Structure 1
Amino acid sequence: MAGVFKNVFGGDSPSPAPVNADDDFADFAGAPEPSPASISVASSAATPATSPFGAAKPGTSPVPYTKWYRVWERTTPRDFMQEAMVMPFLILIIAFHIWGTRKNRRKAKAWAQAHVPVLQNEFAVVGFGGVRKQISAEAVEADGLTKASVSSELVAPESVLREKSAQEFLSYATGRQNVAFVDISIKLLKRYNPVTFLMDYILSLFFESWPTPAERFEAVAYAFDGKEKELVPVPAGDTSSLKVNNSTYDGFVWAVVHKNHMRKFRQDRYDASLTFTKDNPKLPTWVTVMSESAEITDTLLTPELIKAVEQAGDLLEYLIISDQPVDKPTKIEETTPRKRVHLSLQIPSSTASYASTMPLFSLFLRLPDFLVSSAHFRAEVTRKVRNTREEEIRRLRRADEEEKSEERKLQLEKLKKEERERTLRSMSAEEQRKYLEREKEREQRRMLKKSTRKA
């Protein structure tokens, strides 16, 4: 007890034992070196409480820890049910797209194979492959010019076409008398997109304004109209390489249109609005003629054209000869005549059906020659056609003058407003008050005079 009270009241206490710096690590001095344990050992030694994934179910071994990128050890097929439901639709859309694009390319190639011989016979350059190869003199002497050009297969169908999109293909031809060049556009169905492919058909059934999907090709032949020297490049000093002939003809608008497409044709084209429509007894009942003069119809409606139209049947949409723009002109510069021939035909379902449209296509390519030789009408006819165009020019000129007058009026008002503000800034407060009062009185007198004149 004495020892206890002695310690409590500050008595001498026994000195502590000396501390060794290495005593804290004495418990680990004899520990063995760590070594990795195998997965089987870890699995058997692990307990549900020490498993990194939580408690294991009774009777099952816990899952050992694995790296994060071992997805197959952390997921099950049930986790991908949503993706599994989307995949069939995605595969179907991709398969439909591949089928549609290949189908359109095959149809475009079939069109080229059917029309390349005719184009080669008429033009020196067909397609986008450059200048065609020359036919040998031996072939011409043996088979004649026509057979030699057809049998030589100078242009491959692939080089004739250029794919603008999955549904539109383009072609081109040039190098012919009376024709500067021909642009050809092949427009097919949107088979590459199942949604738009079906919606076009569905909407066309319920809405009359929505056109029924159809496959067509359009060809536009631009006439030289006496401008060969301006459009065809000639080497300097070479005057013999270009033979200039009189390739001009009278300007007019004339068309043969299928009645199923007549309303849309007139609404979409400004040049068609200049004509009047009249059925012709020489033509089938399902087509009509749009013309500016009956004499023009009598000249252009040849037996060859009538026969070609009958053979084309419902595949014909329209054939138009025009010198006016397609879109309504808004400026006088846009009324400049540009003579061309435009043909639109639907593409048949089978390659064998091209025989029904080929006569009309061949006649279309040679039609500029007929226009140059025959499309020269009496003065009364040309005067009537010219008056229609001059009336449109006068209308545009009046609209242009009114627009310029409005601009001048706005500019004058702007100058007056700036002058008024400049005058007011140079006045004192009292002068500004008097100026505004006088201005208000003048405005009141002007309104009073206006109301008196109305009364």
Structure 2
Amino acid sequence: MAALTQLLQALTPVPVVLEEDYDGLEFRYKIFVFRPALFQKEAALLGALLFYALFFLYGRWINTRRATKWLEAHLPVLEQQFSKPKRWIKDGYSDFFNFSTGRRNVASLHAVFALIPRHDFFQWAFQTGRTFIDLQYRPVDDLQLDFKLLPGTLAHDFVWAVVSKDELLSVKNDRWDLTFTKTSENPGLPSKFSVMSEFGDVTDGVLKAFPLAKVLENPKIAPYFRSLSITDQPRDRPTKPIQPDEREKHVILSLRAPPPSRASDTVEIVATIFPFIDSLSKIALRPETKTKLKKMRDETEKDIKKEAERDKKEDEAEALEAKKAAKRKVEEERIAKLSAADQKKVLERERKRSIRKQQAKVAK
């Protein structure tokens, strides 16, 4: 009985002592009294939690709606061009993916939405704050349509792109393959776009094969167009030479994702990419241009191979040093367990061995 009494006393909450001099807002109902002024910290924490939850739900809804509306507007084009278009696959609340296959000249299409993280208040606040410090930093709702070409679609190896001038800096920083090119103006394209090409002959061949200028003159496309590129190189510098059977050629269309109300504005440019890809086989280059392109790739391949071999030797040297260090540690632990006399003998033996090594070096 005594034990039960002690248990009940332990579970009984401490009685609340109400201050008699309290003159703030108060709510009473029989024995219940609620004084809001005593719970200011709790109210602030609850308000912050509610704000974060609402911010998360609203941001998630905006991003999901933006991706969904775009796909709905462009799905007829994808269904017309591909035998196996698929719906979005979500990775979190700001990344969406679409994969389509089954078309002539195109092995696959990866459409990737990388949206501003509107669902995460802290990421959103960081990105917004950074724009005031770094004037060149501009987070955007990025949409990449990466068309992997089937072998034979593009007969030549080159890198070429047409880029909105507002995006030149970000494109150069994000794409290693475009470091092969030089930036220039082209009278055949609207003035708001620049050309990134390895040689003028490549630009002439691309623009003769397809009337790209007419597409870029569409005022609906201008606010969303970032770049259109043809490339035989990976986006990131490879760490080792790429085997011939692993080489890929891509056409990459980079857009700013339009808001849901304007999702259909990019339908025309997306639909145009398919005849553009079909025209790539018509590109003709001079023999000397082909020779220069091959020479540039051979030199790049040699540089990558040298770097890979150097990195391999450094890794092997580090592994050998780590192995020696581990062996030394084991030996030191073994010696530490010996008696003082045995330790002295071991140290003397090591000293004589070191002297012999020094004498052998001097003799050489």
Q: Would the aligned equivalents of 2:65 and 2:260 in 1 still touch at CA under 8 Å? A: no
Q: Aligned to 2:259, what secondary structure does the other structure show?
A: coil
Corresponding residue number in structure 2 for 1:173:
100
Would you say 1:316 and 2:225 are equivalent positions? yes
By how many angstroms is 1:257 displaced?
1.0
Q: 2:358 aligns with which of 440, 446, 449?
A: 440
Q: Would the aligned equivalents of 2:229 and 2:252 in 1 still touch at CA under 8 Å? A: yes
Q: Which structure has the larger Rg?
A: 1
Would you say 1:109 and 2:68 are equivalent positions? yes
Query: Take 1:222 and 1:172, find their aligned partners in 2: how far apart are those partners?
Result: 11
Query: Cα distance 1:74–1:402, how it changes in 2: closer, same or farther (>3 A)?
Result: same
Q: Would the aligned equivalents of 1:161 and 1:171 in 2 still touch at CA under 8 Å? A: yes
Q: 2:124 aligns with which of 194, 197, 214?
A: 197
Corresponding residue number in structure 2 for 1:187:
114
Q: Aligned to 2:228, what secondary structure does the other structure show?
A: strand
Query: Take 2:170 and 2:243, find their aligned partners in 1: how far apart are those partners?
Result: 23
Q: Deviations over 1:215-246 (max 9, x none)?
A: 231100111115xxxxxxxxxxxxxxxxxxxx
Query: Take 1:433 and 1:333, find their aligned partners in 2: how far apart are those partners?
Result: 51
Q: 2:211 aligns with which of 295, 304, 314?
A: 304
Q: Deviations over 1:27-85 (max 9, x none)?
A: xxxxxxxxxxxxxxxxxxxxxxxxx979999xxxxxxxxxxxxxx96874455442222
Percent identical residues:
27
Q: Which runs of 5+ in 1 are unaligned?
A: 1-51, 58-71, 128-159, 227-246, 422-426, 447-455
Corresponding residue number in structure 1 for 2:22:
none
Corresponding residue number in structure 2 for 1:288:
194
Q: Deviations over 1:299-357 (max 9, x none)?
A: 112563112122221421111111111111111137852101100111233634733x3
Q: Deviations over 1:372-401 (max 9, x none)?
A: 3x1343332222111111111112333344
Would you say 1:338 and 2:282 are equivalent positions? no
One-letter code of the match for 1:284? P
One-letter code of the match for 2:108? F
Q: Deviations over 1:132-173 (max 9, x none)?
A: xxxxxxxxxxxxxxxxxxxxxxxxxxxx22222211221121
Q: Would the aligned equivalents of 1:200 and 1:213 in 2 still touch at CA under 8 Å? A: yes
Corresponding residue number in structure 1 for 2:268:
359
Query: Take 1:179 and 1:429, find their aligned partners in 2: how far apart are those partners?
Result: 71
Q: Would the aligned equivalents of 1:255 and 1:321 in 2 still touch at CA under 8 Å? A: yes
Q: Aligned to 1:298, what secondary structure does the other structure show?
A: helix
Corresponding residue number in structure 1 for 2:147:
221
Q: Would the aligned equivalents of 2:102 and 2:108 in 1 still touch at CA under 8 Å? A: yes
By how many angstroms is 1:107 displaced?
1.7
Corresponding residue number in structure 1 for 2:257:
347
Query: Take 1:253 and 1:100, find their aligned partners in 2: how far apart are those partners?
Result: 37
Query: Cα distance 1:77–1:253, how it changes in 2: closer, same or farther (>3 A)?
Result: same
Query: Take 2:66 and 2:17, find their aligned partners in 1: how far apart are those partners?
Result: 66
By how many angstroms is 1:273 displaced?
0.6
Query: Take 2:297 and 2:138, find their aligned partners in 1: how far apart are those partners?
Result: 34
Q: Aligned to 1:176, what secondary structure does the other structure show?
A: coil
Query: Cα distance 1:192–1:441, how it changes in 2: closer, same or farther (>3 A)?
Result: same
Query: Take 1:385 and 1:398, find their aligned partners in 2: how far apart are those partners?
Result: 20
Identify which of structures 1 and 2 has the higher relative contact order when contacts are C-alpha pairs closer than 8 Å and 6+ apart. 2
Where in structure 2 are the equivalents of 1:400-415 lying within 5 Å? 400-402=308-310
Q: 2:172 aligns with which of 256, 266, 275?
A: 266
How many residue pairs end up in the alignment?
317
Where in structure 2 are the equivalents of 1:203-242 lying within 5 Å? 203-209=130-136, 211-226=137-152
One-letter code of the match for 2:248? R
By how many angstroms is 1:367 displaced?
2.4
Query: Take 1:55 and 1:384, find their aligned partners in 2: how far apart are those partners?
Result: 89
Q: Aligned to 1:332, what secondary structure does the other structure show?
A: coil
TM-score in terms of structure 1 length: 0.61
By how many angstroms is 1:402 displaced?
4.3
Query: Cα distance 1:177–1:96, how it changes in 2: closer, same or farther (>3 A)?
Result: same
Corresponding residue number in structure 1 for 2:49:
90
Query: Cα distance 1:104–1:295, how it changes in 2: closer, same or farther (>3 A)?
Result: same
Q: Would the aligned equivalents of 1:223 and 1:339 in 2 still touch at CA under 8 Å? A: yes
Query: Cα distance 1:409–1:81, how it changes in 2: closer, same or farther (>3 A)?
Result: closer
By how many angstroms is 1:102 displaced?
1.5
Query: Cα distance 1:434–1:212, how it changes in 2: closer, same or farther (>3 A)?
Result: closer
Query: Cα distance 1:284–1:205, how it changes in 2: closer, same or farther (>3 A)?
Result: farther
Q: 2:89 aligns with which of 141, 162, 170?
A: 162
